[in-house]
Structure 1
Amino acid sequence: MLYQFDGRRPQIGKTTYISELAQIIGDVVIGENCYIGHGAILRGDYGRIVIGNETAVEEGVIIHAPPDDTQTIGRRVTMGHGAILHAKSIGDLAVIGMGAIVSLFSQVGEGSIVAEGSVVKSNQAIPDNVVAAGNPARVVRPINDRDEAMWTYGKQLYVDLAAKYLSLGMTPVSR
C-alpha cells in the first residue's frame, strides 16, 4: 500500500483513509481527512505529488507527478473513478469527472469541473469556476448554484466516508 522508492517516502495525514488496495509510491504528501479509494495509484517516483485536506481520490484513479516537478492538488478536490492525472496543478474545490484525463503540465482552476471523459491536453489551462467538457476540453459554461450545492454535498460524503472506513475498517467475508 505505501512504498518508499529511491529515497522518496509517502507522508500521510493521520485522519486520512487509504484503502489497502491502493498504491502510494515515493514522494506523495496527503493532507488530513482525505479518502484514497480502492485501486488508486499515486506515483511520486520521479516527481512529487501534494494533496490538500479533505480531497477524494476515488477508485481506480491514477496520479503521476511530472518528472522533477510537483503536481499540486488542492483541498476538497474530487477525482472521479478512473480519472488519470499527470498535471501541474488542480485548484481547491475542483472536480475531475470519472474517466477524465488531465495531461502533462496542465492546470485546472479553483472550483472548476472537468466533465466525465473529458481530456485536458498537455499545458492546457482551465480557468477558475467553469465547467469544461470534451476532447479537447473546452469551457462550456460557468459554475452555477446547483453545481456548488451538489458538489458541496458530494465532497462531504467522501470526508465522512473516510472517517467511517477509519473507524469501522473492512472485514473480509468468506463465501
Structure 2
Amino acid sequence: MLYQFDGKQPQVETGTYVSELAHVIGDVIIGKQCYIGHGAIIRGDYGRIVIGDGTAVEEGVIIHAPPGDTHTIGRKVTLGHGAVLHGRSIGDLAVIGMGSILSIFSQVGQRSIVAEGSVVKLNQVIPEKVVVAGNPARVVRAVSEQDEEMWAYGKQVYIDLAAKYLKQDMVPVS
C-alpha cells in the first residue's frame, strides 16, 4: 500500500508491482519493472528513497534513509528477504543477502555482493565488484563471472515475477 506522509507521496513507475501487504510511505521513487514484495516497508518519512529500474525488494525488507538525506538504490539490485537497509547508496547490480544489515550512511559499490546475515557498519564503504561477509562485513573475494551469471538469472526471475503479479492478482482463499 502507498501512503502519503508530510505532504509527500510515493511515485511508482510502470511495470512495477507493489504488494498490497507492503508499506511504501512518503518521499519514495520506485523505477520501472521493480518487485516490491509482501511485508516490505519503505519509509521515506524523514529522508528520500530512490529505487532504480528492475530492482527486487524481497519480502520483509525494511528500507529507510538517513535524516534529511537520500538513500539511492541502483538498477537491478537484489535486496534479499529480511534485509534492513538504512544506508546512503547501493550501486547498480548489487546483491544484498537475506538478513543483512546496512547501517546508516553505509555505501555498497556496484556489482558487489553482501553475503547473507552480514553487517555493513555506520559509514562503511564497500568497493565495487567484491563479495563481503561477516560482522563487520569484510572483503572475502572478488565477484566472479559465475556470480554475475547466477545473479543475472535471479534478477530476471523477479522482473518476470513482477509482471506476473501485475497480470494476475492474488486471490484470498476462504
One fold, TM greater than 0.5? Answer: yes
- Show the 5 A alignment for 1:98-109: 98-109=98-109
**CA displacement 1:34-76 (0-9 Å, x = unmatched):** 0000000000000000000000000000000110000000000
Helix, strand or coil for the counterpart of 2:162? helix
Which residue of the partner structure matches residue 166 of structure 2?
166
- Show the 5 A alignment for 1:70-89: 70-89=70-89
Deviation, 1:8, is: 1.2
Which residue of the partner structure matches residue 118 of structure 2?
118
Deviation, 1:14, is: 1.9
Q: Structure 2: how far apart are the matches of 1:52 and 1:148?
A: 19
**CA displacement 1:53-100 (0-9 Å, x = unmatched):** 000000000000110000000000000000000000000000000000
Deviation, 1:173, is: 1.0
Which residue of the partner structure matches residue 42 of structure 1?
42
AA aligned to 1:30 is I
- Show the 5 A alignment for 1:145-164: 145-164=145-164
Which residue of the partner structure matches residue 135 of structure 1?
135
> TM-score, normalized by length of structure 1?
0.99
Helix, strand or coil for the counterpart of 2:157? helix
AA aligned to 1:149 is E
Q: Structure 2: how far apart are the matches of 1:13 and 1:23?
A: 16
Flag as ranges the 4+ runs of structure 1 deviating above 2 A.
Answer: none
Identity %: 74
Q: Structure 2: how far apart are the matches of 1:100 and 1:82?
A: 7
Q: Structure 1: how far apart are the matches of 2:151 and 2:54?
A: 13
Q: Structure 2: how far apart are the matches of 1:102 and 1:157?
A: 24
Which residue of the partner structure matches residue 61 of structure 2?
61
Deviation, 1:145, is: 1.1
Structure 2 unaligned residues grouped into runs of 5+: none
Deviation, 1:30, is: 0.1
Helix, strand or coil for the counterpart of 1:75? coil
Structure 1 unaligned residues grouped into runs of 5+: none
Q: Structure 1: how far apart are the matches of 2:15 and 2:60?
A: 21
Helix, strand or coil for the counterpart of 1:132? strand
Deviation, 1:146, is: 1.0
Q: Structure 1: how far apart are the matches of 2:40 and 2:123?
A: 24
> TM-score, normalized by length of structure 2?
0.99
Q: Structure 2: how far apart are the matches of 1:56 and 1:85?
A: 14
Q: Structure 1: how far apart are the matches of 2:82 and 2:103?
A: 14
Matched, 1:52 2:52: yes
